[in-house]
Chains A and B, each alone.
Chain A
């Protein structure tokens, strides 16, 4: 019941690979790691990879809304990729799919 956060930095893109659960316990650590990345000036895209995220609640939504705002302020693009159906549904119910760049897991992805 933890979240591991791996940051892969490239010239144009920073990828953040998450594994585990995003909840009230792990969200503060995620925010601490993610927000500074959205403020960098040399990067264009911040991509969060959800492939190995098996749980997320509204504490995660809060972190990603903050990260989106900060990215916009600093001229960076913010993307969420490889969301499974369950996690995508939470973004859909809350209407956040309309303001965020979100890609679901590609075909064949088992939850």
Chain B
């Protein structure tokens, strides 16, 4: 809970807008004080969610766009990505994602399916709601102790 600020965007469900949203996210995360590494993780996770929504939208007759919301909290960034297409089979998706395993042969390695896996690996919390369209809610926390340490160093040395 607590106070937060909200930024909302809506983009057409087309691949060319993934980069536009990524740039916006860079600006928001940078302003919040996320590290370079965390911003890169956020960019990938958000792009994966939007790419999923774009792919999904192509399979639907009507394309109503993708809604993205950034919830800016003092200690974290929450990102929501929603498409308004029909729902899909989450179990099937979960079974088809995950890292390559060492005993898999090259022939059986999937060419897709890393998207959801990467979102889970790169974000602190991920929730997927699949009732009316697909909504991905993901959270990354600011590492405040790191910031405090840096601030201390600046004030005490030289």
Contacts and interface: CB of A to CB of B under 8 A. Distances in A.
| A, B from the same assembly | yes
Interface of A: 1, 21, 23-25, 55, 57-59, 61-62, 65-66, 68-69, 72, 86, 90, 93-96, 98-99, 111
Contacts of A65: 109-111
Nearest to B118: A58
Interface in B103-126: 106-107, 109-112, 114-115, 117-118, 121
Contacts of B102: 95, 98
Contacts of B110: 65
Interface class of chain B by DSSP: helix
B18 A94 contact: no
Interface of B: 15-16, 18-20, 22-23, 36-37, 40, 43-44, 47-48, 50-51, 54-55, 99-102, 106-107, 109-112, 114-115, 117-118, 121
Nearest to B117: A94
Contact of A1 (B23, B101, B111): B23
A23 B107 CA distance: 24
